[in-house]
Amino acid sequence: MTIELNGRTVELSPGATVADAVIEAGADRDSRGVAVAVDGQVIRRVDWGKTKLRSDQSVEVVRAVQGG
Amino acid sequence: MTIELNGRTVELSPGATVADAVIEAGADGDSRGVAVAVDGQVIRRVDWGKTKLRSDQSVEVVRAVQGG
Amino acid sequence: MPSKVDSEASAAERVDPGISRGDVDGFQLGGRIWGSRLIVGTGGFRSLEAMERALVASGAEIVTVALRRVDPLARGSALEVIDGLGLFALPNTAGCYTARDAVRTAQLAREAFETDWIKLEVIGDDRTLFPDAVELLDAAQQLIDEGFTVLPYTNDDPILARRLQDAGCAAVMPLGSPIGSGMGIRNPYNIQIIVESASVPVVLDAGIGTPSDAALAMELGCNGVLLSSSVARAKDPERMARAMRQAVEAGYAARRAGRIPRKLHAEGSTPDQGLPDLG
Amino acid sequence: MPSKVDSEASAAERVDPGISRGDVDGFQLGGRIWGSRLIVGTGGFRSLEAMERALVASGAEIVTVALRRVDPLARGSALEVIDGLGLFALPNTAGCYTARDAVRTAQLAREAFETDWIKLEVIGDDRTLFPDAVELLDAAQQLIDEGFTVLPYTNDDPILARRLQDAGCAAVMPLGSPIGSGMGIRNPYNIQIAGESAPGLVAAPTIEDARE
């Protein structure tokens, strides 16, 4: 299935979960400072592995960066 | 003889020196921070004992005080 | 200076150097007591190493960070440095122009940083980066309802500051001048009014350009100062960080020491009586 | 913090903490390097104890004092405190309104404090205590000729600052605002210009009033 990951169209295997998207985005699962929103809804870290993604969903994976 | 010591008229024995005036003014002879002027002329510390005073001279004995 | 914060404890109940030192002068913020009244942002440093050296020199315990899309190529991260130093990472919602975005970002931040503290920023336009009062208040309200500890970056309008405080914000963080402008405190009178009417800590955030600005903020009665560009983009960030630390401490001490009043004319400190008449 | 200045050495060649610490950041004043850039006045304290505590807290090494007629009833003295702390007593000519008075007072000070350093003050009027430029320059010239190290309290006129520098003053000490007014730096632009025209010579205005 295809989703939009951090603004890029990405192909994921069917049944992929939020956790897979995190890895696809280049962040490893347990790295601190990572957070995910699917279609604007924040997914709690504990639910990453249980939340299946659907085609055309928009996934944003963010991480801590320097900020004022 | 009478001199003006720090603005007050004072009686000193004839032959009194600057050193005597310093003591009369209430500053013990060698204390640090003391200086003397006679009729506006500064008398060097080393000359206090040798400088005889004359009647009607104006003697100023000053000492260090708090100051900005 | 505050000992390194114990990094094992989770962010929630990190041992506060202020408390551990029984510091009567401790900086009360968000229901905790901190040892340093200087909060430093991590934005704008030329490298993570420069940031780390400056953070250490600043003595800051609270350090702000932002959230951006993962960059797989990024080497190292601000958060690793902050954790390594045992400091408290305070996420911000920089870049949000609506209450909706800010709330979402705060929720993301709660996941990412495992803390419900948020430096709430909702911007009105990209030239001044001034806060958008209406959106800011709306976002603050929502986040407070969701149990966040909200530290809002606000303008120097005392009325808005009071509304934010009444809404339940943990502090108000008025700007001195635009973010990164280095113009210092443009309206010290409003800052004083905010300080007078505040029942929550007041942290001057944004616009500090040099240590005397930071000291002035503390002398005006602010409880703390938040700055970033003035250190990050200084020629020597580490030396400037140390200077800011001293300025905040000096300003706070001066405020408590009780300055002399301002007068138009002079008042000599050297006594007049006893002036010798030198003829 | 600067180590306590070695009090045994005479005032003249006191070991400068700046030099001893090889402090590249040392404060160069009067041909010597000092550890602290803060000069504190002793005027206005409510008590000698308060003054002593403040002097220690300030980290200052140079402390200004004045000369007045001996008061036999006075208990203790600023100088005893300053000597006790191993600090350098810098006499001033506060209260002088003419070059003549200021020169005489400086000569008295040289006797009293055994130093040729003088904080030269020649005042124009008693409401503002602003310097009298003409008398100040005249006094500075005379004292420099007599070998004094002259540190003049001046206004923030860059031209006068340059004249004082050209006359041979060891520094120029422009005011930020009237003595004791607490008005900070009223004209930062002139201070910057004074700094440019007399580079490296501008010592910040001394903190006159440490009144508690």
Interface contact B35-D109, CB threshold 8 A:
yes
Under 8 Å between Cβ of D176 and D196: no
Q: Residue C80: list chain A partners with CB under 8 A.
A: 32
Active site residues of C: 119
Interface contact B60-C277, CB threshold 8 A:
yes
Output the CA torsion C49→C51→C57→C61 (10° steps): -120
Q: Which of C197, C191, C149 is nearest to C174 (CA)?
A: C191
Same domain, D97 and D61: no
- Which one has a higher pLDDT value, C57 or D192? C57
Full residue range of the structural domain in which residue C153 is found: 18-68+77-257
> Mean pLDDT of all residues in chain D?
84
Residue showing tokens 């305070």: C90
> Token pair of A26, please?
């280049």
Cross-strand partners of D66: B65
Number of domains in chain C: 1
Q: What is the pLDDT of residue C77?
A: 82
Q: Check D119, D155, D169, D198 and give the catalytic one.
A: D119
Q: What is the pLDDT of residue D11?
A: 39
Q: What is the pLDDT of residue D35?
A: 95
* Residue D211 within a domain: no
Average the pLDDT over D124-153 and give the result. Answer: 96
Interface contact C228-A35, CB threshold 8 A:
no
Question: pLDDT class for C198, splitting at 50, 70, 90?
Answer: very high
Q: How far apart are CA A41 and CA A37, in angstroms?
A: 5
Average the pLDDT over D81-105 and give the result. Answer: 94
> Mean pLDDT of all residues in chain C?
90
Identify the CATH number of the domain in which residue D162 sits.
Answer: 3.20.20.70
- Which one has a higher pLDDT value, D1 or C52? C52
Contacting C residues, span 252-271, partner chain B, CB-CB under 8 Å: 268-271
Interface contact D41-C269, CB threshold 8 A:
yes
* Residue D199 within a domain: yes
Interface contact C69-A25, CB threshold 8 A:
yes
Interface contact C70-A35, CB threshold 8 A:
no
ipTM: 0.76
Question: What would the pLDDT profile of D119-137 be if each residue is shown by its tens digit?
Answer: 999 999 999 999 999 999 9
Q: Which residue of D111, D117, D212 is the best one to mutate when testing the B interface, meaning the one whose CB has the most B CBs within 10 A?
A: D111
* Residue C113 within a domain: yes
Q: How far apart are CA C143 and CA D39, in angstroms?
A: 51
How would you label C181-209 residue by residue, b for 16+ Cβ within 10 Å and e otherwise?
A: bbebbeeeebbebbbeebebbbbbbbbbb
Q: What is the pLDDT of residue D75?
A: 76
Distances in Å between the Cα of C180 and the Cα atoms of C43, C175, D66 are 10, 11, 47
Lowest-confidence segment of B25-34, C149-158, D6-15, D105-114 by average pLDDT: D6-15
Q: How far apart are CA D68 and CA D49, in angstroms?
A: 20
Interface contact D69-B60, CB threshold 8 A:
yes
The pLDDT of residue D5 is above 60: no
Number of domains in chain B: 1
Q: Which residue on chain A is closest to C90 by alpha carbon?
A: A67
Q: Residue C271: list chain B partners with CB under 8 A.
A: 65-67
Full residue range of the structural domain in which residue D56 is found: 1-69+76-90
Q: What is the pLDDT of residue D202?
A: 53
Q: What is the pLDDT of residue A68?
A: 62
Q: What is the pLDDT of residue C107?
A: 92
Q: Which of C130, C140, C153 is nearest to C225 (CA)?
A: C153
- Which one has a higher pLDDT value, C232 or C111? C232
Lowest-confidence segment of C23-27, D10-14, D54-58 by average pLDDT: D10-14
Number of domains in chain D: 2
Q: What is the pLDDT of residue B32?
A: 76
Question: What would the pLDDT profile of C205-243 be if each residue is shown by its tens digit?
Answer: 999 999 999 999 999 999 999 999 999 999 999 999 999
Q: What is the pLDDT of residue C14?
A: 40
Question: C–D: how many Cβ contacts below 8 A?
Answer: 75
Question: What would the pLDDT profile of C127-159 be if each residue is shown by its tens digit?
Answer: 999 999 999 999 999 999 999 999 999 999 999
* Residue C10 within a domain: no
Question: What would the pLDDT profile of C60-82 be if each residue is shown by its tens digit?
Answer: 999 999 988 888 888 778 888 99
Q: What is the pLDDT of residue C189?
A: 95
Same domain, D5 and D41: yes
Chain C closest-CA separation from residue D202 CA (Å): 19
> Mean pLDDT of all residues in chain B?
89
Interface contact A25-C66, CB threshold 8 A:
no
* Residue D38 within a domain: yes
D55 backbone dihedrals φ, ψ, rounded to 5°: -60, -45
Q: Which residue of A28, A43, A66 is the best one to mutate when testing the C interface, meaning the one whose CB has the most C CBs within 10 A?
A: A66
Which of A6, A26, A63 shows the shortest C-beta gap to C112? A63
The pLDDT of residue D196 is above 50: yes
Q: What is the pLDDT of residue D2?
A: 32
The pLDDT of residue D118 is above 70: yes
Map chain C to HEC letters.
Answer: CCCCCCCCCCCCCCCCHHHHCCCCCCEEECCEEECCCEEEECCCCCCHHHHHHHHHHHCCCEEEEEEEECCCCCCCCHHHHHHHCCCEEEEECCCCCCHHHHHHHHHHHHHHHCCCEEEECCECCCCCCCECHHHHHHHHHHHHHCCCEEEEEECCCHHHHHHHHHHCCCCEEECCCCCCCCCCCCCHHHHHHHHHHCCCCEEEECCCCCHHHHHHHHHCCCCEEEECHHHHCCCCHHHHHHHHHHHHHHHHHHHHHCCCCCCCCCCCCCCCCCCCCCC
Chain C closest-CA separation from residue B66 CA (Å): 7
Question: What would the pLDDT profile of C1-24 be if each residue is shown by its tens digit?
Answer: 333 333 333 333 343 343 334 446
Q: Residue B68: list chain C partners with CB under 8 A.
A: 268-270
Q: How far apart are CA B24 and CA B22, in angstroms?
A: 5
Full residue range of the structural domain in which residue A7 is found: 2-63
* Residue A35 within a domain: yes
Indicate the pTM of the whole model: 0.81
Q: What is the pLDDT of residue B26?
A: 87
Q: How far apart are CA B26 and CA B24, in angstroms?
A: 5
Q: Which amino acid is at C165?
A: Q
Q: What is the pLDDT of residue C138?
A: 97
Q: What is the pLDDT of residue C176?
A: 97
> Token pair of C102, please?
């800010």
The pLDDT of residue D10 is above 80: no
Whether C230 has its CB under 8 Å from any CB of chain A: the answer is: no
Chain B closest-CA separation from residue C211 CA (Å): 27
Identify the CATH number of the domain in which residue B51 sits.
Answer: 3.10.20.30
Cross-strand partners of D28: D33
Q: Which residue on chain C is closest to D123 by alpha carbon?
A: C268
- Which one has a higher pLDDT value, D9 or D101? D101
The pLDDT of residue D102 is above 90: yes
Chain B closest-CA separation from residue D126 CA (Å): 15
* Residue B36 within a domain: yes
Q: Residue C266: list chain D partners with CB under 8 A.
A: 127-130, 178-181
Identify the CATH number of the domain in which residue C96 sits.
Answer: 3.20.20.70
Domain final residue pick, D36, D61, D90: D90
Interface contact C267-D179, CB threshold 8 A:
yes
Question: pLDDT class for D211, splitting at 50, 70, 90?
Answer: very low
* Residue B68 within a domain: no
Q: Residue C272: list chain D partners with CB under 8 A.
A: 95
Same domain, D132 and D86: no
Q: How far apart are CA A35 and CA C79, in angstroms?
A: 13
Interface contact C274-D183, CB threshold 8 A:
no
* Residue A68 within a domain: no
Helix (H) or strand (E) holding D40: strand D39-41
Distances in Å between the Cα of D5 and the Cα atoms of B61, D13, D51, D171 are 29, 11, 18, 22
Average the pLDDT over C165-171 and give the result. Answer: 98
Question: What would the pLDDT profile of A3-46 be if each residue is shown by its tens digit?
Answer: 999 999 999 999 999 999 999 998 876 677 888 999 988 898 88
Under 8 Å between Cβ of B44 and D42: no
Same domain, D101 and D195: yes
The pLDDT of residue B27 is above 70: yes
Q: Would you call D188 helix, strand, or coil by DSSP? A: helix
* Residue A50 within a domain: yes
Same domain, D80 and D110: no
Which of C261, C270, C278 shows the shortest C-beta gap to D104? C278
